[in-house]
Structure 1
């Protein structure tokens, strides 16, 4: 099996879809990257049909609301914070993990709102981010060749030949875990967990030693004072300070999963992927005549597009025309992932070309994926300073091009992991093994994430105030 383009397992297309233009399985006639063959197509068909029959995870109204907010971001009127796990795992569908991730996303947005004075749109890499592309199809473990782990949606992390075979039952388990995660997160977001009158409740113990802790305490006091003042001069209760919106996103990699949950809705035009509010197109699946672009051009959801090496400006412009031919605002989020050494060289030409073509995109910066390296002990990690450097340089380039950098896209966790080096507390490579949990790429831990929020806000203010 190879990551070169190939034909995926064929799913039967209902007669009512045939001959009527784009439909959720149009991509099944295209060649596809990064999706290995399932050993049993009949099992895959059965899992697909069952998943297709299950209730949607989200609604079209929520998708439209997110698209409206992203349109505001594209105009420079808001900021996008997108973050979460590199790849979720089924075993991590536990309340402490979900609570900690929601805490860190809320707290980061709280810092940005206070420091930047602008609306922050929160999008989690959560409730569906169970698949990952890989640069190699196979690995060797203890002398035995087996398929690479591609995320729990496809196969098992267990180093066993049979466990690494793609299993269609995982499509259903991913749906179930996503539903559980989403239900719990919604309950927390709607019932006072995000109460701005008590932001100190969001705190986790290991923040105390960070150099920004005093700034955080000052912000808590400032917001509490502002809320108390408003409530003394009006008899109305401010419900909006007790609830927040958190949208979900994942990479549209396993198209069997996404297309099974793609459907029409009453009184609206088009097709909607109701497994996630937003999906994105990874760097390895951007073939114009391939399956992933074919799928994404037919859905109403906002679509992210990763922009990074190998750089192909013409391909990007053609993808924009294919996925968003009407130039709809809020539809496209361009997520640049250049690597800190490539930003100044490559980003300006992309900004100019997109402007010239008239696409009203949201520009976001993914400073994680271009700055990954392995230590001498073969531990995959990232340097906090290089992540920050890419963000700084991206802000600088956008400012020089009279463009608006409207978001950041971060791999992070609310847990106290040791996966990225650097930050205020100076984690070094020797400390990585202390609590290294990720099965895929290294994430910022809670404290590094909050520190990054302060520094992103500082760069935003330097560029746009």
Structure 2
């Protein structure tokens, strides 16, 4: 085995530091004794991921920081227990694999595939409570904390949900490994990934690429090449490290090196709302060996970002730290360059990734939360333009998407308009790209990658 369990003594000695620091956006657990019992139980369970897998991802993130690879990170805004079914998981994996094929084929750049999956069961909220029809209840913090239904019983934070989050993550990771290692990801089956979808310009264009890949695969087989790497893919898991007792409970010591790894996911990130350099979230992730990320919003100052580099990657290890900018399409050209330039001058390597979703959230005329695909694409283009101007590498994209045919984001070839938003609006928190919008994005990003000097 690559890891062994923490003993209670190990855990207290290694991670007591975060508990003495301010921790933003934590649920108000009604029973501390029950929470401690749940955390104690989680400590006895096997890790969800292994140190060797995490080290491999760190090397691939290092390649992305040097312009030798491109990161594709995607999945639900917030996973739900009800939708963690085999079909829904398969659909998300299929969408990410198709996007990766388009990015790789269009740009000749290796793609690092990471799912916001198997752990994205919690979300920070602007307010600890919300009011509906004059009634105030705790906000929905994700299925790992409480229920979405607006009732007192559902909204009460329940520590036992952390156990279900772990169990659902186990099941999701098992399916991910089965699909990506068991033949589903075989490049000779790129046509099959599109079965069941109606005619659409994005699908038709994808079929053209799939036919070219088929032709290349037939040539390789005829030439006697049978590369196993074309039949399987490496697919990593990621989520926001928000609920600190859960993340602490799933930290383990690697038996090879004696170093601590957060074994709840391969990649963890700290959100824009919890990235205080002297806060508990940054302190916790500063202790683990995983590749980690930090969301950087439009109000971030270069000095703040450099302080995060000091805290999270003082030694400047390539692949260790990813800065995920989320500026908004109208602000990225003004706000991002000074930050990128400051980090470039500092000299310690980071992987630059753009989150074009969160800075572009709007309210439709009917009050529904949504985003415009054109704004999302504009922010990606702005991200590429900044890095091209400064001579740095645009390392990846971080997007909220689903494999389902939802109507949550405006625009796309099969144009979703405000009048149709409510037809298939399924998200519990933020709007996601649907399958065809995700493919449209992949084609455009592939063209951007082809046009820049990575």
- Assess same fold via TM > 0.5: yes
Q: What interval of TM-score do these two structures reach, taking the shorter chain for normalisation? A: over 0.9
Q: 2:210 aligned with 1:220, yes or no?
A: yes
Query: Residue by residue, what CA displacement relative to the aligned partner does 1:38-73 show, whole Å, maximum 9, x if unpaired?
Result: 111110011001101000011000000000111111
Q: Give the match for residue 459 of structure 1.
A: 448
Tell me the equivalent position of 2:391. 402
Match status 1:92 vs 2:83: yes
In structure 1, the residue matched to 2:288 is 299
Say yes or no: does 1:268 pair with 2:257. Answer: yes
* Partner residue, 1:119: 110
Equivalent residue, structure 2, for 1:232: 222
CA offset at residue 296 of structure 1? 0.8
1:17 Cα deviation after fit: 5.4
Structure 2 counterpart of 1:8: none
User: Please, which runs of 5 or more residues in structure 2 have no aligned partner?
Assistant: 1-6
Indicate the SS of the match to 1:32: coil
Alpha-carbon separation, structure 1, partners of 2:257 and 2:393: 32
In structure 2, how many angstroms separate the alpha carbons of the residues matched to 1:109 and 1:76?
A: 16
TM-score (norm 1): 0.94
5+ residue gaps in structure 1?
1-12
What's the TM-score, normalizing by structure 2? Answer: 0.96
How far does residue 206 in structure 1 lie from its aligned partner after superposition? 3.3
Alpha-carbon contact 1:343-1:390 (below 8 Å) kept:
yes
Q: CA–CA distance in 1 between the matches of 2:248 and 2:77?
A: 22
- Would you say 1:312 and 2:301 are equivalent positions? yes
* Cα distance per residue 1:128-166 (max 9 Å; x no partner): 000101111111123211011010111111101232121
| CA contact 2:21–2:279 (8 Å) conserved in 1 | yes
Matched, 1:35 2:26: yes
| Separation in 1, partners of 2:215, 2:360 | 41
CA 102–17 in structure 1, closer or farther in 2 if over 3 Å, else same = closer
Could you list the structure 1 runs, at least 4 aligned residues long, displaced by more than 3 angstroms after superposition.
13-18, 204-207
**Match of residue 243 from structure 1:** 232
Classify the secondary structure of the residue corresponding to 2:187: coil
Cα pair 2:220 2:226 within 8 Å, conserved: no
- For residue 199 of structure 1, what is the aligned residue in structure 2? 190
> Given the superposition, is the C-alpha separation of residues 305 and 404 from structure 1 closer, same or farther in structure 2, using an over 3 Å criterion?
same
Residue 72 of structure 2: SS of its match in structure 1?
A: strand
Match of 1:257 among 214, 230, 246: 246
**In the alignment, structure 1 residue 66 sits paired with structure 2 residue 21:** no
**CA deviation vs aligned residue, 1:281-304 (integer Å, no higher than 9, x gap):** 100001122110110100000111
Counterpart CA distance in 1 for 2:149 and 2:205 is 44
The match for 2:167 is 176
What residue number does 2:277 align with?
288
Aligned-partner SS, 1:206? coil
CA RMSD of aligned residues (A): 1.4
Contact (CA 8 Å) 2:107, 2:446: kept in 1 or not?
A: yes
Deviations 1:1-36 (A, max 9, x none): xxxxxxxxxxxx945555x5xx23421111110002
- Partner-residue secondary structure (3-state), 2:15: coil
1:306–1:337 CA contact under 8 A, matched in 2: yes
1:140 alignment partner, SS class: strand
- Please tell me whether the aligned partners of residues 206 and 447 of structure 1 are also in contact (alpha carbons under 8 angstroms): no
Aligned counterparts of 1:141 and 1:177: Cα–Cα separation in 2: 30
Count matched residues: 448
Distance 1:232 1:17, change over 3 A: closer
Give the equivalent residue in structure 1 for 2:335. 346
1:7 aligns with none
